[in-house]
Amino acid sequence: MNLAICTIVAKNYLAQARVLMSSVRKWNPEAKRIVILVDQFDGYFDPSGEDFETILSQDLPIPASKWFHFKYSILELNTAVKPYALEFLIRRYSLARIVYLDPDIQLFSPLQSLFDTDSAASIFLTPHLTAPNTDERQPGDLDILRAGAYNLGFLALRATEESNRFLRWWQSKLYELCVVDLARGLFVDQRWVDLVPGLFSGVCILRDPGYNVAYWNLSHRKIQRSGAGYTVNGEPLRFFHYSGFDPAEPDTVSKHQNRYQLNALGDARALFGDYREALLRHAYLDCLRWPYAYGFFANGEPVPDIGRPVHHESPAMLDVVDDPYSDAGFRAFVDLWNQPAVNHGAPVSGISRMAFRIYGIRPDVQAVMPDIFGTDRIRFLQWLLSNGKAEHGLRDYFLSPAMEALAADERAAPHPGRTDLPLEARRIYRSRKDLQRRFSDPFGEDQQDYLTWLLTYGQREYKWSIEMILPLRRQWEECLASRPGYFAALLHRLRLSGLTASANGLSTLGAWRSAWKTWWDRSDPGVTSPLPAQDHNGVEPSLEPRTFGVNIVGYLRAEIGVGEAARSSVRSVRTADIPFGIRNIVPNAPCRNEDRGVEPVAGRPDHHFNLFHINADMTPSVFAEEKNGAGSGQYNIGYWAWELEQFPDRWSSSFDYYREIWTLSTFCQRAISRNSPVPVVTIPLSLEIALSRNYARADFGIPAEPFVFLTVFDVLSVVQRKNPSGVIAAFVQAFQADPRCRLVLKVNNGSAKPGEIAKLREYAAGYPVTIIDRTLTREETYGLMSVADSVVSLHRAEGFGLTLAEAMYLGKPVIATGYSGNLDFTRPDNSLLVDYRLVPIGPNQEPYDASCLWADPDITHAASHMRNLVASRELYSRLSRDGESYVRTHLSPAAVGAQIKERLRTINRQRTEPAGK
């Protein structure tokens, strides 16, 4: 039998190809084993040492091959080469029969008999489904319909004129249209093959349950194991397709489905365990980290997938640039995508072709910004520079048109002779057509009225913090002072008071009386008068005869992040000479409660303010205890942390316990304020670290010589969020087993999840990685930081990033994901920030919803930062100096204490001063 079995991979899937070909050798030893590598070797492995023949995709007879490799993403390209590879192999080896299998497949019995199923057939396909899915789980029938009737992880051909005609036809379709574009009905190569049974003769659709068993058909196929092997519905298991299986998540069947948990699969469960072990034996962790050669220009810059179809924008570029990966290709690529988009024949400032292409494929962005050439332009450019940059992997040189346009917009002065408006007020006006219709001249005649709207209905709609209210009110007063006549001023004050009352559901008549009395009594018409503060129900808080000061309530003994936040507030208020009391709470969590960094102080426990260091999820249970101050009439402030951009609706009732929320970063402030009916204010953590002695590496069992990278994480804080496996991957990619560098993982509360620690030990096996899984005091942890050279955090999301701030305080350069709360202090000039893209969180990551997003840090970029930090002493010294200076200045107890004092005084003034005075 002249038979070949082949697969197609990039280097990162080489382990899967090795496992597949090992099973081919076992069950079909007479078949030629061939792997098409859609990549370059680049010294990462020696093809001569593999148990199969390796052929580079660049050697296939594909027209304009360099551009073909450039225009498709890694998924698209690995499928687009398929018909070219099959035709090439049939001709090169004069094959009578050929079978293509996806690399994540494993054989369990011979495949020769499939050609006996229909001796007249030339093309053999397997359907995704042979029976309907009747539950509401994924994938459902509609999902399969979108992906294609047949799974092209398998295709078998008998070398005939008809199969050759099929391959030529398929090549003509995949040359330009092997794309993921569900809106156009395209899903790489699969949807095209839906047409094959109608277009070609000799098509055999295999319904044997033993072929192509996978997550999409398991509900119809019962797998049983015996001494003779596996059967499916009583027939031999031919091959199993592990599509979407992740060895890092060994309890998950596939990331593409939610129908099964592995422990519910019976005998099939052993398949996944054995397959995972086989992948690890074949260097899965190494292969996963190897870079994709066609993902980078020759100068090392990554190719953004969103821009790969550049030939559609400028077909002439193919004639001008021979190699799109070259320096000339890079320059032409950037220049083309940075050209301005055109609207009605005119270029639009800031919106480049790249920006407009992104907009065109994002229906979610289109829904909230329907007019990017008009009133939504500024908002869209701001989104592009934040979320858009991360989600589409854009480098700054693709964002320069947007940055320059925004900078020009901010420099643009208002009309001559008119008063400017605060930046946020200008941005809101530009984004709102209704405001533009109502206030046609916000810099001139309509400015007073526009400011009045901002301070009333705008305040309610946008939930201004006091930091926004005060400059708006000052502007309102200055505008009023420029108008002649006391009665005109009175009318504006009456209008402001009436609209304020109306916006908050209060009595307009009472507000007018207050405004009249204020106007009658005032001695200085230019005095700034903040609006009276309201609680979230629009009711003026009652004033209690208590002393100015704050009662700090929290887990003050707990050795966890929320406990350290409470201790931070104690340090800050003590430094700022704010009277305070302390109330300790014991957390309902398996953590140590032995921190003695803060001790009780004498003094009254009933100060004006209660500051609860209790997150939203625990607020109701804490307030259920009467001793914790619920219903006391004091001004309750919640201090919350949250790590995602989306704050859960399920905790909305927790706002009811507080008059306002404090949070530890602008990232958290933005997330929480979207749901909050009360003010949300950023008050960062403060740091103060003093070591009682000099620590040495020997104290922690770390060798003295290597350059040491340290990562610190708590298993109770969701291991996947902290992403220590990502740090291991970056370290290994950067240094392999180089003994001159070492990675140290400090684990807190490891005994709570021993399985997670075991997985990390397995990932790190064979590399210079030390895992410290024992209890250290807080000072000992600081001592560990002091003997490390650098601290790394490849987190997926952080509310603040306390470990990073502590490392910078101790003069350690940090490498961190360029996303979430740490960006308040890890800046491009004092830290090494790692690129990322936003991805869905997925299941089993409580308390986070599976549909929410977090960061997927770029492991290759992180590895590059690691290498650069080791190689450049100048870089190391600069980051050490600048990071330490920034944190010690801006996150000192004195600096944070001053913020707290000013905020409490502002609240106090709002509560005690009548409107207009």
For residue 879, pLDDT beyond 80: yes
Tell me the per-residue pLDDT of 588-636, one tens digit each, with 9 for 90 and over.
Answer: 655 565 566 666 554 445 677 889 988 888 888 787 764 444 444 578 8
Question: In a 10 Å sphere around its CB, with 0-12 CB exposed, 13-18 middle and 19+ buried, how is residue 449 labelled?
Answer: middle
Q: Where are the alpha helices (DSSP H) in 338-399?
A: 353-360, 363-368, 377-383, 389-391
For residues 200 and 533, which has the higher predicted lDDT (pLDDT)? 200
pLDDT of residue 626: 47
For residue 750, pLDDT beyond 80: no
Tell me the per-residue pLDDT of 523-579, one tens digit each, with 9 for 90 and over.
Answer: 333 222 222 333 333 333 333 345 678 888 888 777 667 778 888 888 898 888 888
Average pLDDT on 130-134 reads 86
For residue 915, pLDDT beyond 50: no
pLDDT of residue 917: 30
Residue type, 207: R
> pLDDT confidence of 886, banded at 50, 70, 90?
very high
Type and span of the H or E element at 348:
strand 346-352
pLDDT of residue 545: 44
pLDDT of residue 195: 93
Residues 6+ apart with CB under 8 A from 533: 540, 541, 907, 910, 911
Gap between the Cα atoms of 596 and 584, Å rounded:
12
pLDDT of residue 742: 94
> pLDDT confidence of 110, banded at 50, 70, 90?
very high
Average pLDDT on 24-43 reads 94
Gap between the Cα atoms of 358 and 356, Å rounded:
5
Contact 129, 220 (CB under 8 A): yes
> pLDDT confidence of 502, banded at 50, 70, 90?
low
Please name which of 300, 746, 680 lies closest in space to residue 468, comparing C-alpha atoms: 680
> pLDDT confidence of 740, banded at 50, 70, 90?
very high
- Residue 836: strand pairing partners: 857
pLDDT of residue 811: 95
pTM value > 0.85: no
pLDDT of residue 783: 94
Q: 3-class SS at 581?
A: strand
Sign of the dihedral defined by the CA atoms of residues 168, 171, 176, 181, in that order = positive
What are the structure tokens assigned to 544, written together? 């209690």
Please name which of 891, 905, 908 lies closest in space to residue 577, comparing C-alpha atoms: 905
Gap between the Cα atoms of 384 and 157, Å rounded:
47
pLDDT of residue 182: 66
Length of the chain: 917
Long-range Cβ contact pairs of 82-85 (< 8 A, separation 24 or more)? 82/8, 82/152, 82/155, 82/170, 82/174, 82/189, 83/167, 83/168, 83/170, 83/171, 83/174, 84/60, 84/171, 85/6, 85/8, 85/36, 85/55, 85/57, 85/60
Residues 6+ apart with CB under 8 A from 211: 114, 126, 154, 238, 239
For residue 641, pLDDT beyond 60: yes
Cis check: omega of the bond before 706, within 30 degrees of 0: no
> pLDDT confidence of 768, banded at 50, 70, 90?
very high
753: left (phi over 0), alpha (psi -120 to 50) or beta: beta
Q: 3-class SS at 626?
A: helix
**Main-chain dihedrals φ then ψ at residue 466, nearest 5 degrees:** -65, -30
Average pLDDT on 784-789 reads 95
State the Cα angle at 842 between 840 and 845, rounded to 5°.
120
Type and span of the H or E element at 66:
helix 65-71
Q: Which DSSP string corresponds to 514-553? A: HHHHHHHH-S-TT---PPPP--TTS-PPPP----S-EEEE
